[in-house]
Amino acid sequence: MDTFAARLVGAAKLDARTFEEVEADVTATPQALGAVVLSSLAGGIGALGAGGLGSSGFIGGALISLIGWAAWAALTYLIGTRLFPEPQTRADVGELLRTTGFASAPGLLRLLGIVPGLYAPVYFATSAWSLAAMVVGVRHALDYSTTTRAVVVCVVGWLLSFAIVLLLGAFFGVVVQSS
C-alpha cells in the first residue's frame, strides 16, 4: 500500500498498518508534506464557501498551516519522547512528520465546505477526524502501548502548536485554521 492515494485513504480510515508503513518509510516525508499541503488547500477552498480568506489569506493560511504541522510534529516528538515516553519509545522527528502529515488526510474533505452552509460542520468534523488520526499515528510512531498516552501527547502538542499558529497569524495578519 505504498501509493500516495492508498496511504491517504488508509490514514483517513485510521488504519494502524498505514501509519506503521509511513513511519518506517523514510522516503514518505514528501508524501506527508503533500498530504498537509492538499489538506491546507482544501481548507482554503472550502473557506471560500463561507466567504472567508481572500487570495492573500488563502496563501498565508496555507503557509501557516504548514508551519503549524511542523510545529505540532516537533512538539509531539519532544513531548512524546522526553516528557511521556514508555520504555519501548524510540522515534525521530521524521517519523512524527510522516505520521502527523498523513493524519491530516481527513482535511481533504474540507473542500466540501465550499457549499454554502457546510463549511463549519465540515471543518469541525474533519478536525475531530484528523485529531483521531493523529492519535493513531502518534501511538504507532512512539510505540505506545495505550491510546490514552497518545491522546495526552496529541492534545498537549496541539494546544501548543495552535498557540504558535495563532501568534504567527496575528503577526502576519492572516486568519488561520488549525490542521
CA distance 62 to 41: 6
Q: Give the mean model confidence (pLDDT) for residues 70-89.
A: 91
Neighbours of 20 (CB within 10 A): 15
Short-list 16, 19, 66, CA closest to 41 = 66
Tell me the pLDDT band of 86, cut-offs 50, 70 and 90.
very high
pLDDT, tens only, 147-173: 999 999 999 988 888 788 778 767 766
- Terminal CA-to-CA distance of the chain, rounded, Å? 24
pLDDT, tens only, 1-17: 569 999 999 999 999 99
> For position 176, what pLDDT does the model report?
47
Query: What are the cell numbers at 146?
Result: 495505550
pLDDT, tens only, 20-74: 999 999 999 999 999 999 998 888 787 776 665 555 556 666 676 777 788 888 8
Q: Give domain limits for the chain.
A: 4-172
Quote the DSSP letter at residue 106.
G
Q: Give the mean model confidence (pLDDT) for residues 81-86.
A: 94
Helices 93-102 and 119-141 meet at what angle, rounded to 10? 150
